[in-house]
Amino acid sequence: MIRFKNVTKTYESENKSVTAVDNVSLEVEAGHICVFLGPSGCGKTTLLRMVNRLIPITSGTIEINGKEIQSFDVIELRRSIGYVIQQTGLFPNMTIEENICVVPQLLGWDRVKMKQRYNELMDMMGLNPDEYRNRYPWELSGGQQQRIGVARALAADPPVMLMDEPFGALDPIIRERLQNEFLRIQGDVKKTILFVSHDIDEAIKLGDTIAIFQAGRLMQHGTPDEILANPQDQFVSEFVGNDRALKRLTLFTVRELLKKAGSGTGKASANKLAATSQVHVDANLRTALSVILSSDTGEAAVVDDQGQSVAVLRLADFESFTGIHPKRLTSIVQ
């Protein structure tokens, strides 16, 4: 668990002081991803870099698993925290294997163990260990480099990871693929992760919780659903966007909707529907909504893994679940 208590950072220059982080208190549960979200210059990166003491704290405390970070030796602290940055920061003079084994090597692991760990991590990243072992960072694509960056941060199996816009420089398709892989890996490793982003969609997708910052202050901290459903103030609601209702739909699957609604819709008519108006039971509600809106009948057949239709979904079903009137939903989409 990571706990920020009244954390403040002020930069003193000759005749004025600038507050980059203003009295932030925040708790992130073990095994959770907390996304620090906000416009550039809002203090999110500063806050992140205070955790591994790359930036000294002006006042307040940060605790990792109940232990104050100032009580650690700074070098040991950093070696026990994974760190991933946007520009990858891969060392151009080292091979991929050397890059990944930097921290294990600093910690004095033996060769066999390091090699084993390298193979393990590359498998985890979906890259062939032997193909890349002796290659250099510049020979890799941006997406591959960032995978190596994540693998490197995971190398010594640190309980905590700091990620500063790790996917920010990638093109959208690669970014989405890496986000999915990242979620899959996190499902296995269950690290406590602080993740800086300026992209609301990324935050909704990756975050167990989202912390929104503006001008150094924490505006709201909550699950993506809480933030989308109840933005605390004008700034948050503008930042998450007018289509937040729609974004919220991505958080839920058709299955969850059906469970809640008690699947009161008739089964009989389902088979008459055209094949194009089908939606999988595990698809998110946003996908389901667009299927319904593009079908002629205003209905979509919900199908399971076997392709059997289990229910029919109509626009009206959304209202009971999201509390948004169908007309508003339609207007948002269009």
Which residues of this protein are in contact with other proteins, per CB under 8 A? Answer: 49, 52, 54, 75-81, 83, 85-95, 102-103, 106, 136-138, 152-153, 162
Give the nearer residue to other proteins in terms of CB position, either 102 or 215: 102
Give the nearer residue to other proteins in terms of CB position, either 88 or 192: 88
Q: Token pair of 150, please?
A: 């994540």
Q: What is the dihedral of CA 157, 90, 29, 190, to 10 degrees?
A: -50
Partners of 280 in beta bridges: 303
CB of 57 to other proteins, least distance (A): 16
CB of 189 to other proteins, least distance (A): 18
Give the nearer residue to other proteins in terms of CB position, either 92 or 187: 92
Asked if residue 137 lies in contact with residue 144, where contact means CB atoms within 8 angstroms, the answer is: no
CB of 118 to other proteins, least distance (A): 16
Contacts 24+ apart (CB under 8 A), 167-172: 167/202, 168/86, 168/197, 168/198, 168/199, 169/86, 169/87, 169/142, 170/142, 170/143, 170/146, 171/142
Give the nearer residue to other proteins in terms of CB position, either 54 or 333: 54
Q: Token pair of 37, please?
A: 């979200």
Give the nearer residue to other proteins in terms of CB position, either 99 or 214: 99
CB of 85 to other proteins, least distance (A): 6
Give the nearer residue to other proteins in terms of CB position, either 164 or 299: 164
CB of 113 to other proteins, least distance (A): 18
- The set of residues, in sequence order, having a beta carbon less than 8 Å from that of 15 and lying 6+ positions away, is none
CB of 261 to other proteins, least distance (A): 48
Q: What is the C-alpha to C-alpha distance for residues 140 and 130, in angstroms, rounded to an integer?
A: 14
Containing H/E element for 36? Answer: strand 33-37
